[in-house]
Amino acid sequence: MTTIRRVLVSVSNKHGLADFIRMLASKGAEILSTGGTAKVLREAGIAVTDVSTYTGSPEIMDGRVKTLHPRVHGGILMRELDEDRTALASIGGAPIDLVVVNLYPFEETLRRAGASHEDLVEKVDIGGPAMVRAAAKNHARVAVVVDPADYAKVQAEIAADGVVSHATRVALAAKAFSHTAAYDGAIAGYLSSLADDGGRDRFPRSLHLGFERAYSLRYGENPHQQGAFYRERGAIEGTLGRAESLGSGGKELSFNNLVDVDAALEAVREHDVPAAVVVKHCNPCGVAVGATLEASYRAAREADPVSAFGGIVALNDVVDEATAKALAETFLEVVAAPGFSDEALAVLRARKNLRLLSLGRWLPADHRATAMKHVSGGLLVQDRDATAKGEVRKGRVVTSRAPTEEELRALTFAWAVCKHVKSNAIVLARGEEGVLRTVGVGAGQMSRVISVDIAARKAGDLAAGSVLASDAFFPFPDGLERAAEAGVRAVAQPGGSVRDEEVIAAANRADIAMVFTAVRHFRH
């Protein structure tokens, strides 16, 4: 356990810095600092020694070189050995016991609209990572702090004992190496994306992902599997990585809860009017849009009330009291929304073990992102499926009868839902009393005709007069014929089967209007 005699401070994120360093100075520590950090500390009334004074070498090249000096790195890397003390003293250096460094904001600059390549290159930190890695390597003697969130813990230990414990130094070192690894990964990914590959592939040649553990889960997919949720570095508001839990305690979120919430959010983002999605086992079992959020939720729940029990609900607007009361009528696992009114929270927090997730900012359906899926020994990467809007209305009517305007509205809705149902996917929907809602969903079947059967069976009498969306083409007329038997009046599907003409003929015989969108929406 080492007494903190000398501290090296150089940070881009100055949140909470002055109070932390003031405490260290009050304990007699000498403070070494550079540039803007030194200026901020002096303005806070803290005595600071410039690194250039300590090294005897001025900063050069507009600060590009300031800490790359043997007195700095010797002071950090010195072990508690006589030969190391002698070597450091021979160059006029002194031991550095605490390094407080965070890096130039490369990732923040990368996310900023209009940032130039030159801007990004200047945000590639050199001296910072070198100091962080040196301090983390020498954690047997040196403590390194890269995250302002750790100031309080380090301050508490120093205030109590005058030292930073070995366990804390190890934990800080691990965090420091994670920090520099993710930082270098972001830079490598950016530069790889600039490499000329003839326009064949926009994805980088190497992929370096930065995630940090947000919290442990009750378990994984099953109780015998452990689980944890890792937040993506730089996760934006509106994603699960930035969601705020507003529940009243009770059970923690599970692995399956989060997978289902993500599926529900993806589905509800498709709609610009008040919408509700109820998900069970990753599939929407009820979706509706209406004039109010309450009306939408009630219609979505009634689309499949049996499956809605114990389901996950996502809503695309702030939950009000009326909607909250409707939600409270059924046992639900999680409700996710952009936010909740105070009145809604009062209602929902009274429900035992109901988890509430507030997303804050609402992401539109067409937001661009990269989707990844882990497979044995590798990672599959693709663009997020950000299309669906307008595809039905832009599609080609292939039957003798064209859809009516009412059928087009229902087809557009059903098509947006179908995109989020596991393949083979069939969705039956209809409009009634100012609400568009699903009436039957057939999901995840090995045969498309079986998905039609399931959707029709769930819809019951409501199948008559409904519309149907299919995520991929009908390979045979049998699926279309089953839909006709159930009373379906209009169909949206991609088309593209070698038997399209047979399917079109079956639709014409049943007086069904059919639109080919020429876009497939498989979801595996």
Q: Is residue 169 part of a domain?
A: yes
Q: Is residue 209 part of a domain?
A: no
Q: Name the catalytic one among 137, 166, 208, 389.
A: 137
The pTM score is 0.81
Residue range 42-94, pLDDT digits in tens:
999 999 988 888 888 877 787 777 778 888 899 999 998 899 889 989 999 89
Q: Is residue 120 part of a domain?
A: yes
Is there a contact between 359 and 236 (Cβ–Cβ < 8 Å)? no
Same domain as 511, residue 435? yes
pLDDT category at 250 given cuts 50, 70, 90 is: low
Q: Is residue 302 part of a domain?
A: yes
Same domain as 252, residue 111? no
Rounded Cα distance between 188 and 194, Å, is: 10
CATH of the domain at 487: 3.40.140.20
Percent of the chain with pLDDT over 70: 97
Is there a contact between 301 and 294 (Cβ–Cβ < 8 Å)? no
Rounded Cα distance between 30 and 507, Å, is: 83
Q: pLDDT at position 333, please?
A: 94
Mean pLDDT (whole number) for 236-254: 82
CB atoms < 10 A from the CB of 523, how many? 18
pLDDT over 70 (residue 301)? yes
Spell out the residues 6+ positions from residue 407 whose beta carbon is closer than 8 angstroms to its own: 467, 489, 490, 513
pLDDT category at 248 given cuts 50, 70, 90 is: low
Rounded Cα distance between 341 and 362, Å, is: 16
Q: Name the catalytic one among 14, 27, 208, 281.
A: 281
As given in the structure block, the two tokens for residue 253 are 């979120």
Rounded Cα distance between 155 and 157, Å, is: 6
Same domain as 185, residue 68? yes
Rounded Cα distance between 26 and 371, Å, is: 50
pLDDT over 60 (residue 113)? yes
Same domain as 174, residue 30? yes
Rounded Cα distance between 144 and 97, Å, is: 9
Q: Is residue 403 part of a domain?
A: yes
Mean pLDDT (whole number) for 313-317: 96
Q: Of 315, 332, 358, which marks where a domain is finished?
A: 358
Same domain as 153, residue 261? no
Beta bridge partners of 313: 278, 335
Same domain as 324, residue 427? no
**Least confident stretch, 10-19, 197-206, 439-448:** 197-206
Q: Quote the number of domains for the chain.
A: 3
Spell out the residues 6+ positions from residue 72 whose beta carbon is closer than 8 angstroms to its own: 8, 51, 54, 55, 93, 96, 131
pLDDT category at 9 given cuts 50, 70, 90 is: very high
The dihedral through the CA atoms of 106, 107, 113, 117 has a sign that is: positive
Q: Which range of residues forms the domain containing residue 298?
A: 241-358
| 394: three-class secondary structure by DSSP | coil
Is 139 a known active-site residue? no
Is there a contact between 189 and 207 (Cβ–Cβ < 8 Å)? yes
pLDDT over 70 (residue 201)? no
Same domain as 157, residue 44? yes
Residue range 376-429, pLDDT digits in tens:
999 898 888 987 689 999 999 999 999 999 999 999 999 999 999 999 999 999
pLDDT category at 122 given cuts 50, 70, 90 is: confident
The dihedral through the CA atoms of 244, 249, 254, 257 has a sign that is: negative
Same domain as 408, residue 330? no
What residue type is 483 in one-letter code?
Answer: A
CATH of the domain at 40: 3.40.50.1380
Q: Is residue 221 part of a domain?
A: no
Same domain as 453, residue 341? no
pLDDT category at 111 given cuts 50, 70, 90 is: confident
Same domain as 36, residue 179? yes
Q: Is residue 385 part of a domain?
A: no
Same domain as 109, residue 13? yes
Q: What is the pairing mode between strands 228-232 and 378-383?
A: unpaired
Q: Of 192, 227, 252, which marks where a domain is finished?
A: 192
pLDDT category at 96 given cuts 50, 70, 90 is: very high
Mean per-residue pLDDT over the chain, rounded = 90
pLDDT over 70 (residue 197)? no
pLDDT over 60 (residue 198)? no
According to DSSP, residue 463 is labeled G
Is 14 a known active-site residue? no
Q: Is residue 367 part of a domain?
A: no
Residue range 161-176, pLDDT digits in tens:
778 889 999 999 999 9
Percent of the chain with pLDDT over 90: 64
Rounded Cα distance between 390 and 74, Å, is: 63
Q: pLDDT at position 2, please?
A: 62
Q: Of 303, 338, 358, which marks where a domain is finished?
A: 358
Same domain as 157, residue 14? yes
